[in-house]
Amino acid sequence: MTTNPAKRQMTLGMHLGTGYGSQANAWRAPGVNPSAYADIEAQVRYARAAERGTLDFLFLPDNLAITPSMGGGIPQATMDPVVTIAALARATSRIGFVATGTTTFNEPYNIARQYKALDVITHGRFGWNAVTTADPAAAANFGQTIAERPVRYGRAHEVIQTVQALWGSWGEDAWTRDKATGRFVDMDRVRPVNLRGEHVASQGPLPIPPSEQGQPVIFSAGGGEYGLTIAGRYASGVIGAAFTIEDARAQRDAVRRAARQYGRNPEEVKFFAGLMPLIGATVEDALARRRQLDEVSAPQRVPYLGAMLGLALEPEQIDRPLTAGELADARPSGFDPRSQHALSVAREGWTIRDILAHGIIDYHPTPVGPPSVVADHMQEWFEAGACDGFWISPDVNQDGIDTFVDEVVPILRERGLFHDGYRGTTLREHLGVPPQYGLDPRVMRDAQ
């Protein structure tokens, strides 16, 4: 055992997604129950597997519509993250939960109530990934269209501030429950919020006591100038997406700078890089797993690989490698940050099918091979200061979560990169971020 307790250790989240896994065909994979989307027992099994690996949180994305262009009608999230977490909370005791919820198509009182109730019933294990939603199909489900960023983010600031004010409105020690005097709550310590902005308003108070961690942790996803104002002011965790160490480090630095700008300590904001491991006993086993999963859809992706490399490639060419002439002519596209990596894989001489099987069009980096290859990737990124941890998207949850927990986690522990047991009982303790109740006074000093 080489564990060094003083060493900085990574924080890990497991992406639950739709429940099937990150690959569009995960629901069709061998051994997968195609009904798992509607089977809470399957989700419970996955949550328990992640908890067995002492992962810090489960990440539940959300999408308020079916997006037809993505995966032929496969939903992009669980049936409902809040309801799912309420069920998973009863089947687990330590793992945290981070649920995505939109600031655009919710009222702050609804969010404040549901999320604080979840934080109380999970005993302080809940976090809210506050997103602004850019999907027109989601807007249509509320009879609306997607507004420009200044409007969506203006509303997001108001919603988050109102939600946090509501969370703090039932004072931390207000719940007296004194049977002798008949005083259930000390109303002197329960205060309305009386907030009115341009987009939302709420009178308060919210009649829910604090949880073991006070109130839910805020996460955000998505960068850019607007996203950074959310991350910098409120987030304790940022769900990131980057394909290179340099890009991840730049994103993490930007988040930390934003936190400092709003008077916070950058150590309070943890940046999570995405990871889509493709694990097998050998590289060939891992590729075989992906080839089987993508058997039907791979040929359709050949022209896109061509576009990434500046070459005209056809589906029927899928079982041959690129020729020396094609490799010489290839120019990685500046529009897709994955193109350089695709070219590097192509240069190794793989067939087009195997180039694709390397996950070169996945949404996050895909280390391919035995568990040590995944651990090496994580160690390299973490030690390079590219992230504070990872959110992991297994290709197929049915066996992918177990494989990560049983085969990658022990390597990380052996290298002293990941904790052996939970560091606490609340999500804040898992993340190593400070307590907060109500609005953060440091942020409110100069907030709009």
Ligand X SMILES: Cc1cc2nc3c(=O)[nH]c(=O)nc-3n(C[C@H](O)[C@H](O)[C@H](O)COP(=O)(O)O)c2cc1C
**Residue closer to ligand X, measured from CB, 44 or 147:** 147
Taking the complex as a whole, the smallest distance from the CB of residue 377 to ligand X amounts, in Å, to 18
Nearer to ligand X, 225 or 414 (CB): 225
Task: Between 54 and 132, name the residue whose CB sits nearer to ligand X.
Answer: 132
Which residue lies nearer to ligand X by CB, 105 or 422?
105
CB of 397 to ligand X, least distance (A): 16
Q: Which residue is nearest to ligand X (CB)?
A: 61
Catalog residues that contact ligand X under the rule CB under 6 A.
61-63, 100, 102, 131-134, 149, 221-222, 224, 226-227, 239, 241
Reduced 3-state DSSP string for the chain: CCCCCCCCCCEEEEECCCCCCCCCCHHHCCCCCCCHHHCHHHHHHHHHHHHHCCCCEEEECCCCCCCCCCHHHCCCCCCCHHHHHHHHHHHCCCCEEEEEEECCCCCHHHHHHHHHHHHHHCCCCEEEEEECCCCHHHHHCCCCCCCCHHHHHHHHHHHHHHHHHHHCCECCCCCCCECCCCECCCHHHECCCCEECCCCEECCCCCCCCECCECCEEEEECCHHHHHHHHHHHCCEEECCCCCHHHHHHHHHHHHHHHHHCCCCHHHCEEEEEECCEECCCHHHHHHHHHHHCCCCHHHHHHHHHHHHCCCCCHHHCCCECCHHHHHHCCCCCCCCCHHHHHHHHHCCCEHHHHHHCCCCCCCCCCEECHHHHHHHHHHHHHCCCCCEEEECCCCHHHHHHHHHHHHHHHHHHCCCCCCCCCCCCHHHHHCCCCECCCCHHHHCCCC
Least Å from the CB of residue 4 to ligand X = 31
